[in-house]
Amino acid sequence: MSTSALRVCPLCEATCGLVLTLDGTHVTGARGDRDDVFSQGFICPKGAAFGAVDSDPDRLRTPLVRTDGALREATWDEAFDTIAARFRPLIEQYGPQATGVVLGNPNVHTMAGALYPPLLLGALRTRNVFTASTLDQMPKHVSSGLMFGDAFAIPVPDLDRTDQLLMLGANPLDSNGSLCTAPDFPGKLRALRRRGGTLTVVDPRRTRTARLADRHIALRPGTDALFLAALVHTLYEEGLTDLGRLAEHVEGVDEVREAIRDFSPEAVAGACEVDADTIRTVARELAAAPTAAVYGRMGSSTVAHGTLGNWLVDVLNVLTGNLDRPGGAMFPLSATAPAPRPASPGKGFALGRWTSRVSGHPEAKGELPMAALAEEIESPGDGRIRALISIAANPVLSAPDGDRLDRALGALDFMVAVDPYLNETSRHADVVLPPPPPSQSAHFDFAFNNFAVRNQARYSPPAIPLEEGRMDECEIQARLILAVSGMHGAQPEAVDDLAIDTTLARAVTQEHSPLYGADPKEQARLLTGRTGAERRLDMMLRLGPYDLTLEDLRQAPHGHDLGPLKPRLPQLLKTRSGRVELLPAPIAADLPRLRGALAAPPAPLVLVGRRHLRSNNSWLHNVPALVGGTNRCTLQVHPEDAVRLGLDDGKPARIAGDGGALEVPVEVTDAVRPGVVSLPHGWGHDRPGTRLGVARTSPGVNVNQLLDGSRLDPLSGTAVLNGFPVEVTPVA
């Protein structure tokens, strides 16, 4: 007999509510939940394939432990015993800096990934922390940290109400949106146009999103910061700045005018290959629109001037009075964020509090560049990483120079991977700890509610009970913390109890907390929930801004709508000045580098990435329903370039970059602009020792092998994954 269960989809940032059809303990189907307060029935092909993703026979069912060089199935006790026996001694002998942690993208899609890694890092006290952020959005964290004093104060376009959207380097029709959690992003863009608004897309490719837009600007990759600086220049030059109610909360407006003086539309036009008139028109339209939002993502982030570009996005939002107003770029307020404190100056945001051991890269938000992981493992000396924990990460494919990282991981003294698959990265682990499939896990979006275009809260309990022999990922990560911190064998709840006691003890002393003055022990006893993770969620809700509890969420299986976004300035500012700091010193110090880019000769051919609707980074190529058709690893080349380079559609080409060369089939298409080729990431599933039966049949190539890890945005340590030079030649 078939039953159904509700589950928020964990496969991208849109967080759609799904109705799963269950046959016993098997997910047989998924459709959009029309009653979901946020997604209202939207679903994409990935969500529809939830059952196939969930039941992939290649998912590991038991832990693996390496004995005599080979990974063998083991019990959970054997796995954690091995970690305790092998990891601890390395810390005792070489100190905490001999350990490293890698956190990958799915951590932001799981409850475990939100609740336990911070405790793990606290227990290990290592500075060797590497996450997908330095392959992605770290420039936004840095610009927000510097401007607002809080690296997580990230404004999102108020999609449902804006009159004008200027979108750079994002393709939500395929990605379904990022740092802007909006189920049915495509529908919201169509609705924007239907209500008379305008959409401008800046992208070197004519993407599905660009085709929907009123205007598509195919600028030269890597030049967004110049383009944006010229928009700012025009606002000043033509007297179009109007901060409105923001004026009293912003400092540095005159300083920015001075700082971007050299970036007139005429000055940048050549480098961007966008004519000056277009730039002026876009600036005037932004200023004239009743409301407008500027939004930049991957393509304007993982580039050489990523932090400057992200800063300029919000400079534009500020100067047009659109920051923090309905229809502009607004700050969400999640149900699990601490209840807002009264406005007051904060501690500000510090960058580069320490540097990496080998290349001296400055830390950002406590992290070192993922592109520097291999050298930190390989280079001898004090503080060399000997023991590594990788959670939900596949950097062998997702980070620059996978071949080098592959060798480095193989040279570790000890490695743990928390991963459902034996893949390009986890195959190097000495212990693999597999989480259960999503249907057997509870879900709450701790991360994405911070970036949602509407405030709401939804909780999904496990749709299916934990299968015999499985361990919930929260328990896996809690036990891992105990095993590496000398408390092996203690009850995993001890980890959650400690977190709860510490948090409540602090909260009851804070005047703005809903629990101010309460008895922390009593409050801890009031928490409901079957698991430590549920009790922590309940606590966070109670400490949050909406007077909610876990029980409230359980009573509302389709979610609690908490209303449209509301203005939050100046309360959320944590800068030392207590104001928005429009020209932070590290930004000003990086502007000469941007000035240098005005005169730099353009590379004849550069590469950009692309995402496919049915893909997800490196880990969904093992699901037959999601691969094949147009979801293939091809090199897109413009027809003019194909002729110039002697390339034929469907024939192989050799592509070379700093880090290596690949052979890949050519796809001739005018969807890329001349001078630009495009290759998707997450492919290259042809290494031995993996268990990816489907993916290995059409492995593709790893685009990140074209990089050697040396190209970074210096302020954020983010790898340049877009707009780097390549050479392409035909293969005879």
Ligand X SMILES: Nc1nc2c(c(=O)[nH]1)N[C@H]1C(S)=C(S)[C@@H](COP(=O)(O)OP(=O)(O)OC[C@H]3O[C@@H](n4cnc5c(=O)[nH]c(N)nc54)[C@H](O)[C@@H]3O)O[C@H]1N2
The residues that touch ligand X, with contacts defined as CB under 6 A, are: 12-13, 104-106, 110, 132, 135-136, 168-172, 174-176, 178, 202-205, 207, 221-222, 224, 297-300, 303, 391-395, 397-398, 418-421, 423, 435, 473, 608-613, 615-619, 681-682, 703-704, 721-723
- Least Å from the CB of residue 51 to ligand SF4: 13
Read off the tokens for 508. 């009851």
Asked if 586 contacts 713 with a C-beta cutoff of 8 angstroms, the reply is no
**Cβ proximity of 562 and 456 under 8 Å:** yes
Residue 33 or residue 367: which is nearer to ligand SF4 going by CB? 33
Q: Tokens 């890890």 belong to which residue?
A: 709
**Cα separations (Å) of 63 from 73, 533, 694?**
6, 22, 21
- Please enumerate in sequence order all residues whose Cβ is within 8 A of that of 76, keeping only pairs 6 or more positions apart, or say none: 63, 471, 479
| Residue choice 44, 138, 463, 679 for contact with ligand SF4 (CB under 6 A) | 44
Closer residue to ligand SF4 in complex, CB, 12/303: 12
Residue closer to ligand X by CB (options 84, 393) is 393
Residue 639 corresponds to which tokens in the numbers above? 């027809």
Which range touches ligand SF4 (CB under 6 A), out of 8-16, 186-194, 332-340, 467-475? 8-16
Q: Which stretch binds Mo ion (CB under 5 A): 133-141, 238-246, 337-345, 491-499?
A: 133-141
Nearest C-alpha neighbor of 165 from the set 152, 174, 183, 177: 177
Query: Which one, 39 or 718, has the nearer CB to Mo ion?
Result: 718
Closest to ligand X by CB, 371 or 569: 371
Nearest-approach distance from CB 47 to ligand SF4, in angstroms? 2
CA gap 394, 371 in Å, rounded? 13
Q: Which stretch binds ligand SF4 (CB under 6 A): 43-51, 387-395, 640-648, 690-698?
A: 43-51
In this structure, are residues 588 and 311 in contact, taking their beta carbons and an 8 Å threshold?
no
Closest residue by beta carbon to Mo ion: 136
CA distance 179 to 176: 10
Could you tell me how far CA 45 lies from the centroid of its own chain?
Answer: 21
The SS3 assignment for 217 reads strand
15 binds, among ligand X, Mo ion, ligand SF4, none (CB under 5 to 8 A by kind): ligand SF4
User: Of ligand SF4, Mo ion, ligand X, none, which one does residue 314 interact with (CB within 5 to 8 Å by kind)?
Assistant: none
Binding at 9: pick from ligand X, ligand SF4, Mo ion, none (beta carbon under 5-8 Å per type): ligand SF4
Paired with 635 in beta bridges are 666
Identify the bridge partners of residue 27 per DSSP, sorted by sequence position. 22
Residues of this chain, 178-217, that bind ligand SF4 according to CB under 6 A: 183
CB of 398: closest distance to ligand X in angstroms?
3
DSSP 323: B
Q: How far is the CB of 229 from ligand SF4 (least distance, A)?
A: 33
Least Cβ distance, residue 477 to ligand X (angstroms): 8
CA distance 549 to 545: 11
Of 113, 107, 9, residue with least CA distance to 53? 9
70's tokens: 């080979």
Q: Applying CB under 5 A, which part among 8-16, 131-139, 546-554, 574-582 lies near Mo ion?
A: 131-139
Min. distance of Cβ 36 from ligand SF4 in angstroms?
10
**Token pair for 643:** 């002729």
Which of 158, 407, 435, 180 has the alpha carbon at shortest distance from 289?
158
Sole window of 6-14, 373-381, 447-455, 517-525 interacting with ligand SF4 (rule: CB under 6 A): 6-14
Nearer to ligand X, 12 or 147 (CB): 12
The minimum distance between CB 58 and ligand X, in angstroms, equals 10
Shortest CB 692 distance to Mo ion, Å:
21
Q: Report the residue number, 38 or 236, with the smaller CB distance to ligand SF4.
A: 38
DSSP letter at 322 equals -
Residue with Cβ nearer ligand X (218 or 500): 218
Judge if the upstream peptide bond of residue 57 is cis by omega within 30 degrees of 0: no
Q: Which does 320 bind (CB under 5 to 8 A by kind): ligand SF4, ligand X, Mo ion, none?
A: none
Residue with nearest beta carbon to ligand X: 299
Q: Nearest residue to ligand SF4, using CB?
A: 47
Please say whether the dihedral angle defined by the alpha carbons of residues 90, 96, 98 and 104, taken in this order, is positive or negative.
positive
Instruction: Pick between residue 127 and residue 220 the one whose CB is nearest to ligand X.
Output: 220
CA–CA separation, 633 and 679 (whole Å): 7
Q: How many residues bind ligand SF4 (CB under 6 A)?
A: 12
User: Which residues ranging from 18 to 57 are in contact with Mo ion (CB under 5 A)?
Assistant: none
Specify the pairing of strand 64-67 against strand 70-73: antiparallel
Of 135, 201, 132, 126, the C-alpha closest to 171 is 201
Tell me the residue length of the chain.
732
Binding mask 489-518 vs ligand SF4 (x if CB under 6 A, - otherwise)?
------------------------------
Residue 9 CB, nearest approach to ligand SF4 (Å): 3
Task: Residue 300: name its binding partner from ligand SF4, ligand X, Mo ion, none (Cβ under 5 to 8 Å by kind).
Answer: ligand X
Residue pointed to by tokens 């290995």? 696
CB 561 → ligand X: shortest distance, Å?
Answer: 24
Q: Binding mask 11-40 vs ligand SF4 (x if CB under 6 A, - otherwise)?
A: xx-xxx------------------------
Which of 183, 434 has the CB closer to ligand SF4? 183
682-685 CB contacts, 8 Å cutoff, 24+ apart: 682/397, 682/398, 682/615, 682/616, 682/617, 682/618, 682/619, 682/621, 683/397, 683/618, 683/621, 683/633, 684/397, 684/402, 684/424, 685/423, 685/424, 685/621
Q: Which stretch binds Mo ion (CB under 5 A): 132-140, 371-379, 440-448, 500-508?
A: 132-140
Which one of residues 176, 234, 449, 705 is an interface residue with ligand SF4 (CB under 6 A)? 176
Q: Coil, strand, or helix at residue 17?
A: strand
Which one of ligand SF4, Mo ion, ligand X, none interacts with residue 16, CB within 5 to 8 A by kind? ligand SF4
Residue 617 CB, shortest distance to Mo ion, in Å, is 7
CA–CA distances in Å: residue 274 to residues 270, 279, 282, 385, 444: 7, 7, 11, 46, 43
> How far apart are CB 105 and ligand SF4 at their closest, in Å?
13
Q: Which is nearer to Mo ion, 299 or 559 (CB)?
A: 299
For residue 414, the surrounding DSSP H or E stretch is: strand 414-418
Residue keyed to tokens 């660009």? 210
578: exposed, middle or buried (C-beta count within 10 Å: 0-12, 13-18, 19+)?
middle
Distance CA 50, CA 8 (A): 11
Q: Which is nearer to ligand X, 581 or 590 (CB)?
A: 590
DSSP single-letter state for residue 188:
H
Nearest residue (CB) to ligand X, 74 versus 303: 303
How much is the CA Rg of the chain, to the nearest whole Å?
25
Query: Which residues, at least 6 apart from 516, have a Cβ–Cβ distance to it below 8 Å?
Result: 507, 508, 509, 510
Residues 59-118 that bind ligand SF4 (CB under 6 A): none
3-state secondary structure of 390: strand
CB of residue 241 vs ligand SF4: minimum separation in angstroms? 37
* Residues β-bridged to residue 22: 3, 27
Residues 515-534 that bind Mo ion (CB under 5 A): none
Which of 33, 56, 136, 324 is close enough to bind Mo ion by CB under 5 A? 136
Residue 261 to residue 14: CA distance in whole angstroms:
39
Q: State the nearest-atom distance from the C-beta of 429 to ligand X, in Å.
A: 11
- Name which of Mo ion, ligand X, ligand SF4, none residue 222 binds, using a CB cut-off of 5 to 8 Å depending on partner kind: ligand X
Residues at the site binding ligand SF4, with contacts judged by CB under 6 A: 9, 11-12, 14-16, 43-44, 46-47, 176, 183
Contact positions vs Mo ion (CB under 5 A): 136
